[in-house]
């Protein structure tokens, strides 16, 4: 009994290895989104370090930072459809649909995986596809760049605008000024009426308010 027990354990272990070997392995591949120099963005290296890209699918969320080669690299992609989004503070990029091993794909005889990247549109049906941005066969378990697809910005994000001037009008907003001696309030309507008596120029409002402060402090 002491001799046959190790033999039985070994046979069970051997059967388990054979079972695992018979299971189909998950096919994986790689994808890189490359930002080339363009008229709108001549030097992609100037993008902020917070710039990154994401791939989303059912139960999957992958994140890739911007590399020194101005690319986002995703490795170990399994079969399925993904939404690719580039998150950037200064520029807006179009969303993309990434299909790995589509209905017409799978792996070819050389052990490659078919990858196809489409233009897509937010708020529309998932099957509403635009132009093809890139496609090809990529070697499985590829440690390189995989399929490389170029992405270009659609436009620049603008958060600050220069104001040419400011005109006060009879609105209901109220300015309140407080100091150690007293607290008073002045509506914009009355303030505008006082300012109209001052000389023309960009300092009209400042001069009017200074006169009003001297009058109420006397």
Q: What is the pLDDT of residues 22-81, one digit of tens each?
A: 434 456 789 999 999 999 999 999 999 999 999 999 888 999 999 999 999 999 899 999
Q: What is the pLDDT of residues 152-175, one digit of tens each?
A: 999 998 876 556 555 444 444 444
User: Are 78 and 182 found together in one domain?
Assistant: no
Domain shared by 150 and 47, yes or no: yes
What is the predicted pLDDT for the residue at 160?
60
Asked if residue 190 and residue 85 are part of one domain, the reply reads: no
Within a domain: 61: yes
Same domain, 52 and 147: yes
pTM to 2 decimals? 0.60
Handedness of CA 42, 44, 50, 51 (dihedral sign): positive
Same domain, 36 and 101: yes
My answer on whether 136 and 36 are in the same domain is yes
84 falls within a domain: yes
The answer on 194 and 105 residing in a single domain is no
Q: Which domain holds residue 180?
A: 174-217
Q: Say whether both 76 and 137 belong to one domain.
A: yes
- Please tell me the predicted confidence (pLDDT) of residue 155: 94
**What are the pLDDT digits (tens) for 139-153?**
876 667 899 999 999
Query: 185 and 78 in one domain?
Result: no
My answer on whether 180 and 109 are in the same domain is: no
Let me know whether 31 and 129 are in one domain. Answer: yes
Kindly state whether residue 15 falls inside one of the protein's structural domains: no
Residue-level pLDDT at 42 = 96
Residues 193 and 97 grouped into a single domain: no
pLDDT tens per residue, range 99-122: 998 655 555 657 788 999 999 988
Number of separate domains in the chain: 2
């Amino acid at each position: 009994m002491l001799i046959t027990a190790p033999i039985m354990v070994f046979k069970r272990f051997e059967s388990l290895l054979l079972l695992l070997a018979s299971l189909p392995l998950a096919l994986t591949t790689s994808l890189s989104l490359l930002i080339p120099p363009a008229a709108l963005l001549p030097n992609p290296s100037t993008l902020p370090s917070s710039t990154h890209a994401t791939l989303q699918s059912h139960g999957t969320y992958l994140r890739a930072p911007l590399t020194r080669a101005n690319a986002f690299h995703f490795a170990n992609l399994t079969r399925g459809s993904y939404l690719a989004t580039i998150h950037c503070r200064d520029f807006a990029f179009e969303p993309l649909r990434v299909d790995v091993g589509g209905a017409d794909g799978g792996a070819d005889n050389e052990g490659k995986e078919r990858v196809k990247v489409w233009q897509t549109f937010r708020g529309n049906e998932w099957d509403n596809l635009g132009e093809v941005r890139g496609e090809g066969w990529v070697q499985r378990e590829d440690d390189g760049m995989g399929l490389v697809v170029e992405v270009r910005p659609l436009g620049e994000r603008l958060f600050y605008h220069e104001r040419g001037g400011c005109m006060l009008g009879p609105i209901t907003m109220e300015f309140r000024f407080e100091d150690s001696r007293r607290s008073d309030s002045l509506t914009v309507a009355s303030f505008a009426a006082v300012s109209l008596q001052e000389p023309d120029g960009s300092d009209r409002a400042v001069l009017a308010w200074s006169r009003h402060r001297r009058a109420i402090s006397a």
